[in-house]
Structure 1
Amino acid sequence: MLDFVRLQQQLQGFATYQQQQRDLLQEKLAAALDTWRAIGDVGELLEQVERARPSWLVARPLGERLQTRVTVPERPAQVTVVAADGSQIFPDRHVEPPCFLLNVGRVAFQLGTHEPVRLESIPRFCFRREELQEVLDERLASVSVEIVSALRDEFELEELLQLAREVRRDGRPLVALLDGTLIRWMIRRLHQRELEERFIQRYVCLLEQFQKARIPVASYISMPGGAEVVNLLRVARGECTPDPPALSLDGLTDRLLFAHLLQPGERSGLFLSGSHIQQAYADPHRIVYTYLSVPGPYGQAEIARVEFPRWVAEQPEWVALICAVLLKECVKGNGYPMVLAEAHEQAVIRAPEREAFYELIGRQLWRGGIAMEQSRKQTSKRRPVL
């Protein structure tokens, strides 16, 4: 139960503090825009990055001009769009025997045609330890949240690839979409390099299958929090020199920067991510991204980050197709791609379904003469006494 009286005391001064932070952010934004406009030679800037060797993640521009702005073309009249999203029920240490559930929602739209929409939910129940031997080692006593999340991401990509193969039409362009990042950030939380590399290679192998099938795959990140491009500007301003400027751009995000640089329907140039995880990706599959200004409700645009493997980025017509599809889907989805929203609806596991999942497990075990054990704490949380 929340004590609002005590909370109110802590909220005093909140608005004042936020206004101070907003004013400071505006100063940083003005400085960033000045630096952005002043940069000319990208090659010289990259040499400056090499000399400085900053500890921050720094974007690598792939074009000749940093200030590139591209107007997204109209979407083709007919196009096949497939999307996938995933959810899970994590292993619960209060429940025996151990198990977990992955669920992928996948959808296919044949846009510009009268062909029916395909909406599916694909569950995968995991309980056999031998099925996980490839991604477990002796030091892992149980399946961690990070492992389940990595397996879910693989499952999403597998199902997306399978669906794309099933619904593609000769002569009709095809786009495959995911929500979230293609960079395996969570893998590094395992703190076990051999296992981390194994997971990354499994994921890259799936990207390679998309490449062989010539299916452009991309991911969409709403309200991204990255600052790799801003960090590039920090290098240009000399923030990693012995005599840095008094005002640092630290805390400013790429999203805020491009909100002042792009008009709705425009995208930025292409950037190669500076993530160290990229070193484990084969070069064609290293992740490239662009920032896209998409229209939202009440005339408010949002800056989204769109990621794709480098082999996709090297095909300008694929980049144009992906952005055109996303832009149109955001118009239909009131600021968020409708196809991804539909995939999420197919994937999400709500509280009643979670309870039904455990009830189903218990009933199945009972029929086999086995009791499902739950801790007293778990039982108490499910059946409060007051």
Structure 2
Amino acid sequence: MALEFNKLVDQLLKLRRMLDEWDFDTGNRLQVAIDRFYAATDLDAIHERIQLTRQPDVSGYRGAAPLDPPYHEVICQTFPTPPVPESATLVAADGSQVYPNDQTPLPYFLLNTGLFVYHHGDDRRPEAYTLPRLFFHPDHVHDAGGRLLSNRTIDANRTVSELRELARAVWEQRGEARPLVALYDNHLMFWAHADVTDHLELMHGYLGALVHLHDAGAILAGYVDNPMRSRVVMRLLHLLSLSDDQVRHSDLSAGGELQGLRDIHLFDAVLEPGERSALMVQNSPRNLLYKKRGVSYEIAFFYLKVSSGYRESIVRVDVPMWVARDQQMVNDLHALLVAQCQLQGRNPYPYALTRADELAYVSSKDKHKLDEMIGLELRSKGIEPRYFSAKTWGKELARSLKRQHEL
């Protein structure tokens, strides 16, 4: 039976009344943020304030901070698009997954990584690869307690697999035209929580892939297309408005007068198309652990306004410190990202990442075909590939597109 939308009308009216009471006008708060942003020119004073937040009697600051000298950039500085390199090699990776199903006699999960190699400034055709990996052994699909691996664990495995395959592909391309850019479609500050099966092993694998990319001399970038949740720069601007005593006694995770604003609101106002923000780092225990792995592995970031000529977008770009400390690497990455975002008509998104996503995607038809192939193997051993309880079978019949029960 279809959802009875007429019974939702009164509830939607309540939603409208709630929205009427909310303040969606960011104008005044945004102007305060812009004023504080352009006033943030004293890097020494900002470093002193950041050091204060790292004292034992202060906690809760998870905002942005400048890079350490001599690599730091003035917070309010913006940078136009540099010249695009005549030639470059871009390797992009993306991944998808099929989660295990406990309603089958042989649960499995699938990780599929798509890799796309784009030869900038060269007439050669791009190279495209897919790397599907099927996990079906009970030891690989269950945790030590015999429970099916959680979706969160599968996601963590996919992330590590993506970066490992990206590192391997970049290593194979290390003799091609430089700069050699590795594009990853997500934040770089991956973290496997304790509830993820084999979380320590996964973290070790991820950090190992970072080292491999560093050894290849790659310009690694984590591309975040919609950083709507990010407000680390807002937290910094709030911090700079406080006295030392207020820093010690305030909730530094809040935004004060800037509450409700996001970083994209600020940078959409202050960046022109093609411009990037200053490089910064996020002040957090996780990033500190990356730094302890080696100073080259702390994660920095900048914001960038990309444009297709029809549409503009604010994106966040994560880079490891070995990239952030190399001005030429940063310039090459900046220019190539802007160029990539102009290759798809009206859609300002890197072409190489779009193709990697297409390669990685596992459609419902693909999954159905894979289920059929596994089912054939099971039936050859006299095993029914899927068991339906009476309840499940009834749901399958009722929800089928071929037939609906009539009232």
- Please indicate, yes or no, whether the TM-score normalized by the shorter chain is above 0.5: yes
CA distance in 2, matches of 1:253, 1:243: 20
Is residue 267 of structure 2 the alignment partner of residue 258 of structure 1? Answer: yes
CA distance in 1, matches of 2:215, 2:171: 12
Tell me which residue corresponds to 2:10.
9
Matched ranges for 1:292-303 at <5 A: 292-296=304-308, 298=310, 300-303=311-314
Tell me which residue corresponds to 1:274.
283
CA distance in 1, matches of 2:255, 2:118: 52
Q: Runs of at least 4 residues of structure 1 off by over 6 A?
A: 243-246
Q: Which moved more, 1:155-164 or 1:323-332?
A: 155-164
Q: Which moved more, 1:115-124 or 1:245-254?
A: 245-254
The counterpart of 2:348, out of the listed 335, 339, 357, is 335
Name the SS of the counterpart of 1:10 in structure 2: helix
CA distance in 1, matches of 2:376, 2:309: 47
Tell me which residue corresponds to 1:227.
231
The CA deviation at 1:382 is 4.6
Tell me which residue corresponds to 2:62.
57
The counterpart of 2:214, out of the listed 211, 216, 227, is 211
Change (3 A) 1:178 1:171: closer
The counterpart of 1:286, out of the listed 255, 280, 298, is 298
Is residue 155 of structure 2 the alignment partner of residue 149 of structure 1? Answer: yes
The CA deviation at 1:168 is 4.1
Contact 2:73 2:278 in 1 (8 A): no
Query: What per-residue deviation string (whole Å, max 9, x for no partner) do you get for residues 279-305 of structure 1?
Result: 33213211111101101463x321100
- Identify unmatched segments of 5+ residues in structure 1: none
Sequence identity, in percent? 29
Query: What per-residue deviation string (whole Å, max 9, x for no partner) do you get for residues 265-320 of structure 1?
Result: 1101111122322233213211111101101463x321100111111111111111
Contact 1:83 1:160 in 2 (8 A): yes
Contact 1:94 1:378 in 2 (8 A): no
Tell me which residue corresponds to 2:327.
316
Tell me which residue corresponds to 2:205.
202
Partner amino acid, structure 1, of 2:171 = R
Change (3 A) 1:64 1:159: closer
Partner amino acid, structure 1, of 2:137 = R
Partner amino acid, structure 1, of 2:47 = L
Contact 1:296 1:302 in 2 (8 A): no
- Identify unmatched segments of 5+ residues in structure 2: none
Name the SS of the counterpart of 2:342 in structure 1: helix
Matched ranges for 1:1-386 at <5 A: 1-12=2-13, 14=15, 18=19, 21=22, 23-52=24-53, 53-62=58-67, 63-130=72-139, 138-139=144-145, 141-185=147-191, 187-188=192-193, 190-191=194-195, 195-224=198-227, 225-238=229-242, 248-281=257-290, 282=293, 283-296=295-308, 298=310, 300-333=311-344, 334-376=347-389, 379-383=393-397, 384=399, 386=404
Q: Which has the larger radius of gyration?
A: 2
Q: Which moved more, 1:111-120 or 1:225-234?
A: 111-120
* Cα RMSD, aligned residues only: 2.6
Contact 1:284 1:311 in 2 (8 A): yes
Change (3 A) 1:70 1:173: same
Q: Which moved more, 1:337-346 or 1:364-373?
A: 364-373
The CA deviation at 1:247 is 5.4
* TM-score when normalising by structure 1: 0.89
The CA deviation at 1:359 is 1.5
Name the SS of the counterpart of 1:268 in structure 2: coil
Change (3 A) 1:307 1:365: same
CA distance in 1, matches of 2:7, 2:219: 53
Query: What per-residue deviation string (whole Å, max 9, x for no partner) do you get for residues 45-104 of structure 1?
Result: 232234343514111112241112111213212211110100000112222312100001
Aligned residues: 379
The CA deviation at 1:167 is 3.4
Change (3 A) 1:99 1:16: same
Query: What per-residue deviation string (whole Å, max 9, x for no partner) do you get for residues 336-365 of structure 1?
Result: 111101110111111111222211111111
Change (3 A) 1:354 1:240: farther
Query: What per-residue deviation string (whole Å, max 9, x for no partner) do you get for residues 100-149 of structure 1?
Result: 000011111112212121112210001224457xxx86357221112111
Partner amino acid, structure 2, of 1:231 = R
